[in-house]
Amino acid sequence: MSLLDNLDVSILAFIADHPNSTVTDCAKIIFKPENTDELQKKDSFLRHRFKALVSAKFLIYDSDSNKKMFRVVKEKVFFGPELRGIDIGGKKIVHSALRKDYCIILLTDDGVIVKSLDKIEEQLHQE
């Protein structure tokens, strides 16, 4: 999977906080649709993202009565407050912009992705 964008990270954060949620549950919270038609569009849009996150092994799911209930893969998705540094290859890397933020750390096939959940939340509230 290529570089994860803020929507992918928002999905992972939501599912981590609400394990065994459905795509529809996520669409309701992330997009706050005003009506059923809008919910169906956002739900359909998110299904592609969920499929990609499952393929990248960030999410897994169980099926129950034609419903998929998702969970994060705990070996690949980590969360941490005040990320003061991360040890990568024996070298401690510190990013001053992340010192006081709550972060998500994703282990990918290509390396490690660290994103500030605080900054993503700020951006979502501005939109």
40 and 98 part of one domain: no
Helices of type H across 18-116: 23-31, 36-55
Q: Encode pLDDT of 98-113 as tens digits.
A: 667 788 888 888 888 8
52 and 90 part of one domain: no
CATH number at residue 21: 1.10.10.10
* Residue among 71, 126, 74, 77 at smallest CA distance from 103: 77
Contact status, residue 22 vs residue 11, Cβ threshold 8 Å: no
Q: Encode pLDDT of 46-97 as tens digits.
A: 999 999 999 999 999 999 888 999 999 999 998 877 565 666 677 766 666 6
The DSSP output letter for 89 is T
Range of the domain at 105: 77-126
What pTM was estimated for this model as a whole?
0.82
67 and 104 part of one domain: no
11 and 68 part of one domain: yes
Q: Encode pLDDT of 20-51 as tens digits.
A: 999 999 999 999 999 999 999 999 999 999 99
Count how many domains the chain has. 2
23 and 52 part of one domain: yes
| Residue 1 covered by a domain | no
115 and 86 part of one domain: yes
